[in-house]
Structure 1
Amino acid sequence: MRFLVVMIISCLSLLGCKETPQQVPEKTLPLQVGAANYDAYIPALKGKRVGLVVNQTSEINGQHLVDLLLDRGVKVSKIFAPEHGFRGDHDAGAHVKSTVDAKTGIDVVSIYGSNKKPTPEVLADLDVIIFDIQDVGVRFYTYISSMHYMMEAAAENDKSFIVLDRPNPNIAYVDGPTLDPQFRSFVGMHEIPVLHGMTVAELAQMIKGEGWINNADKLNLTVVPVANYERTMSYELPVKPSPNLPNAQSIQLYPSLCFFEATPITIGRGTDFPFQVVGYSPIKLGEFSFTPRAIEGASMNPKFKEIEVFGQDLRDTDIHGLDLSLFISAYQKLTANNQEFFERAGFMDKLAGTDKLRLAIEAGQTEQQIKQSWQADLSTFKRKRAPYLLYQ
């Protein structure tokens, strides 16, 4: 792996720890995702029975990894479908069914819902499992939870595990509370901050190295890095990673707005700009108005369905990292008007990975005070993750 720049890590402000280079050299080579480095993994698949953990983002130059491997004579025996399904067309939280892929006839096994970890019987006809899914670098985005369970299943059943790495569009930020193990759930499985600043391959190495899965020492793990990638590179995803993260702005705002999911406030599900607005009714959070409706990605009952709400349009804002200002302001406005804010307090604590964030907001602490409280844990985490980083 050729490294183009040596990085220094510094905490720029209490608004988040961002990794910054001393100098940025001229870029001369194109970025290449792990899946495009065919020589690094396809020869090892010869004569093997392969299972794929993939979705709609698993493309290389417009071709899906399933089709690419089949074209090269690889025996793909099973496809494992995470949240949002193999094609990425299921709503958040919607049940993902096991089925058969109509195009290839390959069995598609759901790993979202009640069957998060495949049984030994399901894995019996496999030799190798490949993970190739685009992540967004946020702890509560569940693709990394699915990777965790698949890694554990591979370790327990003596299957090789390969991670084809992809860039993290939020890699510049390490911020937020570190998970308290007593709040572990599918939206937070690892003792990492909300924004961890790692790619999926780096995180896979950490999961194995820290023994966060059963039989971690027995797992035969291979990672294929992104070529010509630097930690300060911006990266706009060629395929939206889930129905409600349609563009770079929504992905940038996602860490800050997802906490609103535990409140009565809408963040735009059921609109053409999800995770790019906030709104409420009858209290106004701003002058921008919109009306959620049942559409693809929010086909059931989005908050305030067919009801006009008022709030803020964030499509042109420069909010990045983990920003709590909107969240605290909304809390203050609703509670001042005798409206319940943390209507799903348990879910809020699972998203945050702790109850300390919710309790601090309820106690009236400022954003600066709250962020200061987790700086020591962030420093500890960055030291712990250092041996697993691929892009220095």
Structure 2
Amino acid sequence: MHFKVIKNTVLLFVIVAISCSNKMKNNSGLTETNSDSKQRDSTIIVGANRTDLYLPVIEGKRIGIVANQTSVIFHKDEDSVFWVDPETNETGFEKTILSYTHLVDSLLSLEIDVKKVFAPEHGFRGTSDAGELVKDGLDTKTGLPIFSLHGKHKKPTNSQLKDLDFLIFDIQDVGVRFYTYISTLHYIMEACAENGIPVLILDRPNPNGNYVDGPVLEKEHSSFLGMHPIPLIHGMTIGEYAQMINGEGWLANGNTCDIKVITIENYSHDSTYSLPIRPSPNLPNDHAIKLYPSLGLFEGTTINAGRGTEFQFQRYGAPNLDRNHYQFSYTPISNFGAKYPKHKGKLCYGADLAHVKADRLFSLEYIMDAYNNSMDKTKFFVTDNFTKHAGTEKLQKQIESGMSEAEIKSTWKQGLEIYESKRSRYLIYD
């Protein structure tokens, strides 16, 4: 196994004086709509900010970068944000990091030889719909060529890598198996292993990294929505998961990738970390991110999970859910990140989850409730897509058979215990 975990206690927020024109204010950040937003731990220093650890490694090298809108270096300046807890009316001020510079812009300003960018699902600037094909092109700001990893190729080609000495991977994950950035990580590692190119991983906190839950993916149901036998909520950072990919021999032909992990300072799996930038268009705030493991299963059904509203993954509904059971309704429309949401322009009956507690919780309650109150159960599941999200055919059958949530979860116990034992070998953080 070839990997290095680089740790250091030096705290470095500012790398050089970067022109004010490169500074971006929180214009693509998460909306401050719930009490979880006030819990940001400003002592946590992400891998990208620890430039003293990786600039010497990449200086003089030809660099490719796998990045999106979350690939940023934060600046030291802070501001105070007034918050109100809608449930308790408690108020206060939060010091929040508000400004940042994109990693690509920062490295170019330091005269690092960045040759090209590779873009995952949603694109380099993070504006494409879920599942939408991302095209190759040029970045209008830097002029760098952008190669899509969510279009014709999900794995970089040999020709795309031939002029590189190093590849940097810096993308914010949310810790859910069907969130495709970890599949992109796999293909990056596989391609780089085949071409003898080291991968530098700038690690970031996992906002759902404080628990493990859900069915473990069965090998026969592997897809880009889940490539490896891990639970739906895997409880690892990108850096830790990369070590597991190597250690479990998941790359093609038994290859291992030479990876170097720039670790997160002052982070543990029990840390509370509020993402300052939405990781994808339809995860607008911390609450949506916490509910995403549960509501993401609706992607394999006919139910809308809030796409086409400003409360993505904080509500669910459909025209054919029982309007006598549900008191809440909404109408999806085209918006940022959802050009064609399910049931566009139609009144959907369902549930508003904006204020439910979601910490450390993967719940089947919502999908079971929707199924039980569907007016046409035969069309509820889009079976192939649901199986890819669940990682197993069993979950659909269990829900259809009327098993309770506790009964269903008991069938996951052995698989989770085996996974937890494996996971412990690759953890970097407590």
User: TM-score surpassing 0.5?
Assistant: yes
Residue number among 274, 284, 288 corresponding to 1:250 in the alignment: 288
In the alignment, residue 338 of structure 2 is paired with which amino acid?
A: A
CA RMSD, aligned part only? 1.7
What is aligned with 2:190? Answer: 152
**Structure 1, unaligned runs of 5 or more:** 4-26
In the alignment, residue 333 of structure 1 is paired with which amino acid?
A: N
Give identity over the alignment, percent. 48
What is aligned with 1:172? Answer: 210
What is aligned with 1:119? Answer: 157
In the alignment, residue 87 of structure 1 is paired with which amino acid?
A: R
What is aligned with 1:317? Answer: 356
What is aligned with 1:34? Answer: 47
In the alignment, residue 70 of structure 2 is paired with which amino acid?
A: T
Residue number among 297, 304, 309 corresponding to 2:343 in the alignment: 304
User: Which shifted more, 212-221 or 241-250?
Assistant: 212-221
In the alignment, residue 322 of structure 1 is paired with which amino acid?
A: F
In the alignment, residue 415 of structure 2 is paired with which amino acid?
A: D
What is aligned with 2:175? Answer: 137
Aligned-residue offset at 1:341 = 4.4
- Structure 1 362/28 Cα, relative in aligned 2: closer, same or farther at 3 Å? closer
Asked if 1:207 corresponds to 2:245, the answer is yes
What is aligned with 1:52? Answer: 65
Question: Is 2:194–2:255's contact at 8 Å kept on the other side of the alignment?
Answer: no
What is aligned with 2:370? Answer: 330
Question: Is 2:46–2:263's contact at 8 Å kept on the other side of the alignment?
Answer: yes
Asked if 1:110 corresponds to 2:123, the answer is no
Question: Is 1:175–1:195's contact at 8 Å kept on the other side of the alignment?
Answer: yes
Residue number among 287, 310, 313 corresponding to 2:327 in the alignment: 287
Distance 1:70 1:2 in 2: 24
Question: Is 1:90–1:297's contact at 8 Å kept on the other side of the alignment?
Answer: yes
Describe the superposition over 1:242-262 as per-residue Cα deviations: whole angstroms up to 9, x where unpaired. 000000010011000011111
In the alignment, residue 363 of structure 2 is paired with which amino acid?
A: D
Distance 2:256 2:314 in 1: 43
Aligned-residue offset at 1:319 = 2.8
Question: Is 1:287–1:311's contact at 8 Å kept on the other side of the alignment?
Answer: yes
Aligned-residue offset at 1:217 = 4.6
Describe the superposition over 1:217-270 as per-residue Cα deviations: whole angstroms up to 9, x where unpaired. 542110111001011111110100000000001001100001111111111110
Question: Is 2:300–2:385's contact at 8 Å kept on the other side of the alignment?
Answer: yes
Distance 1:216 1:332 in 2: 45
Aligned-residue offset at 1:349 = 0.6
- Structure 1 29/258 Cα, relative in aligned 2: closer, same or farther at 3 Å? closer
Distance 1:260 1:156 in 2: 37
Question: Is 2:246–2:256's contact at 8 Å kept on the other side of the alignment?
Answer: no
Aligned-residue offset at 1:29 = 8.4
Aligned-residue offset at 1:208 = 0.7
What is aligned with 1:347? Answer: 385
- SS of the aligned residue for 1:208 comes to helix
What is aligned with 1:187? Answer: 225
Distance 1:120 1:338 in 2: 49
User: Which shifted more, 181-190 or 209-218?
Assistant: 209-218
Aligned length: 366
**Structure 2, unaligned runs of 5 or more:** 1-6, 10-39, 75-99
Distance 1:127 1:262 in 2: 40
Aligned-residue offset at 1:28 = 10
What is aligned with 1:366? Answer: 404
Question: Is 2:217–2:230's contact at 8 Å kept on the other side of the alignment?
Answer: yes
What is aligned with 2:306? Answer: 268
Distance 2:274 2:42 in 1: 17
Aligned-residue offset at 1:216 = 5.4
User: Which shifted more, 214-223 or 342-351?
Assistant: 214-223
In the alignment, residue 138 of structure 1 is paired with which amino acid?
A: V
- Structure 1 29/266 Cα, relative in aligned 2: closer, same or farther at 3 Å? closer
Distance 1:182 1:28 in 2: 40
In the alignment, residue 356 of structure 2 is paired with which amino acid?
A: T
